Amino acid sequence: MAQPMPTPNYVNPEVKGYSILVLSAVLGPLALLTVVARFWARSIILRRTGWDDYIAFLALALAIAFTALVNVGMSSKPGLFVIICPS
Protein backbone atom coordinates (compact mmCIF):
# COMPACT_ATOMS: atom_id res chain seq x y z
CA MET A 1 0.00 0.00 0.00
CA ALA A 2 1.32 3.45 -0.90
CA GLN A 3 2.28 5.77 1.89
CA PRO A 4 0.42 9.07 2.14
CA MET A 5 2.23 12.20 1.01
CA PRO A 6 3.76 14.27 3.83
CA THR A 7 2.06 17.51 4.69
CA PRO A 8 3.83 20.52 3.17
CA ASN A 9 5.73 22.78 5.54
CA TYR A 10 5.36 26.29 4.11
CA VAL A 11 6.46 28.14 7.26
CA ASN A 12 9.86 26.58 7.96
CA PRO A 13 10.70 24.11 5.18
CA GLU A 14 13.61 21.72 5.41
CA VAL A 15 16.63 23.03 3.50
CA LYS A 16 19.33 20.65 2.23
CA GLY A 17 20.96 22.84 -0.38
CA TYR A 18 24.08 23.71 1.54
CA SER A 19 25.10 20.06 1.71
CA ILE A 20 25.06 19.95 -2.10
CA LEU A 21 27.22 23.07 -2.24
CA VAL A 22 29.73 21.59 0.21
CA LEU A 23 29.85 18.27 -1.63
CA SER A 24 30.45 19.98 -4.95
CA ALA A 25 33.19 22.13 -3.39
CA VAL A 26 34.96 19.05 -2.02
CA LEU A 27 34.39 16.46 -4.74
CA GLY A 28 34.84 18.80 -7.72
CA PRO A 29 38.53 19.53 -7.14
CA LEU A 30 39.08 15.88 -6.20
CA ALA A 31 37.62 14.75 -9.54
CA LEU A 32 39.70 17.35 -11.38
CA LEU A 33 42.86 16.19 -9.64
CA THR A 34 42.09 12.56 -10.41
CA VAL A 35 41.44 13.10 -14.13
CA VAL A 36 44.49 15.34 -14.56
CA ALA A 37 46.70 12.83 -12.71
CA ARG A 38 45.38 10.01 -14.89
CA PHE A 39 46.01 11.97 -18.08
CA TRP A 40 49.48 12.99 -16.87
CA ALA A 41 50.39 9.41 -16.00
CA ARG A 42 49.15 8.07 -19.32
CA SER A 43 50.63 10.78 -21.53
CA ILE A 44 53.95 11.60 -19.81
CA ILE A 45 54.94 8.36 -18.13
CA LEU A 46 53.50 5.76 -20.51
CA ARG A 47 53.72 7.98 -23.62
CA ARG A 48 50.34 6.86 -24.90
CA THR A 49 46.80 8.04 -24.43
CA GLY A 50 43.62 6.31 -25.42
CA TRP A 51 40.11 7.32 -26.27
CA ASP A 52 39.10 6.63 -22.67
CA ASP A 53 41.33 9.48 -21.46
CA TYR A 54 39.54 11.95 -23.71
CA ILE A 55 36.16 10.59 -22.66
CA ALA A 56 37.22 11.13 -19.02
CA PHE A 57 37.99 14.78 -19.83
CA LEU A 58 34.63 15.14 -21.57
CA ALA A 59 32.83 13.61 -18.59
CA LEU A 60 34.71 15.93 -16.24
CA ALA A 61 33.75 18.98 -18.32
CA LEU A 62 30.09 17.91 -18.31
CA ALA A 63 30.20 17.29 -14.55
CA ILE A 64 31.69 20.74 -13.94
CA ALA A 65 29.01 22.35 -16.12
CA PHE A 66 26.25 20.44 -14.32
CA THR A 67 27.64 21.41 -10.91
CA ALA A 68 27.83 25.06 -11.95
CA LEU A 69 24.23 25.00 -13.16
CA VAL A 70 23.03 23.35 -9.95
CA ASN A 71 24.88 25.91 -7.84
CA VAL A 72 23.45 28.81 -9.86
CA GLY A 73 19.97 27.32 -9.64
CA MET A 74 20.24 27.03 -5.89
CA SER A 75 21.57 30.54 -5.32
CA SER A 76 18.15 32.03 -4.56
CA LYS A 77 16.78 29.40 -2.19
CA PRO A 78 19.23 26.55 -1.79
CA GLY A 79 17.63 23.15 -1.49
CA LEU A 80 14.12 24.40 -0.93
CA PHE A 81 11.80 21.56 -1.78
CA VAL A 82 8.12 22.05 -1.08
CA ILE A 83 5.61 19.32 -1.85
CA ILE A 84 2.46 20.76 -3.40
CA CYS A 85 -0.42 18.32 -3.75
CA PRO A 86 -4.05 19.10 -4.29
CA SER A 87 -6.21 17.90 -1.43
**pLDDT digit string, tens, across residues 5-64:** 777 777 776 666 677 778 888 998 999 999 999 999 998 888 888 899 899 999 999 999
* The pLDDT of residue 47: 86
* The pLDDT of residue 18: 74
- Write down the pTM of the prediction: 0.66
Question: Are 61 and 39 in contact, with CB atoms under 8 Å apart?
Answer: no
* The pLDDT of residue 83: 52
